[in-house]
Amino acid sequence: MDFRLDGKVAIVTGANTGIGQAIAVALAASGANVAAVGRSSMDETAAMIGDGAMIEIRADLSTTAEHGRIVEETVAWSGGVDILVNNAGVIRRRDAIDFTEDDWDTVIDTNLKSAFFLSQAVARRMIPSGGGKIVNIASLLSFQGGIRIASYTASKSGLAGLTRLLACEWAGKGVNVNAIAPGYVVTNNTQALRDDPDRSQAILDRIPAGRWATPDDIAGAAVFLSSRAADYVHGSVLPVDGGWLAR
């Protein structure tokens, strides 16, 4: 099995911290050149990857307006694009009865709409070039409802559906589209949960592995799905959850 990514070019969104940063670093460690995309500085990610293997592309992924530029800058830097990891995401927490339209649109635009149209823009490069790999970062909320995160649940359920749809359309064109569904990970998005002692303990008690995930726990699955070892994997939504869904 070939898990190496030497000579491959990967776009990773939300690569400044958390899961995106861990994935960007892991892809680079496996040989890929990484275009790290996000709204804030990715100096820390660049320092972890090292000189020459990363380009920083500042972009607002709440809109589709900059997708073309992201792809163009990546191709100008590297000559092509072989891998896309749609990781950038936001979350809003509020009881459903009080959820606002802004809470809804902000999350859907970034987590679902932007992921689809960036995939489209990248696939328009990949398909004429012989194919590539697209990895979407879904969630346990692609399978479950959760509470107080209506637009996040909708976006991650939608992303799982899009993963399957794009796999059906693009598998025969050489593009593998899959998703990872992380469990509860120590990131900025889960800070509110971890700050609530009762909620945090209830979550921990449900995880068979007995701990929250770290971003590095997700990175190995991303390397696998980006590599030749996953050439016949299409349309999967792979839980990396410490056994949460098996409980």
Would you name the residues annotated as active-site residues? 152
Strand ordering across the sheet containing 54-58: 54-58, 33-38, 9-13, 83-86, 132-137, 175-182, 237-240
Per-residue buried b or exposed e for 5-14, using 16+ beta carbons within 10 Å of the residue's own CB: beebbbbbbb
Q: How far is it, in rounded angstroms, from Cα 59 to Cα 16?
A: 12
Q: How far is it, in rounded angstroms, from Cα 79 to Cα 174?
A: 19
Work out whether strand 33-38 and strand 54-58 pair parallel, antiparallel, or are unpaired.
parallel
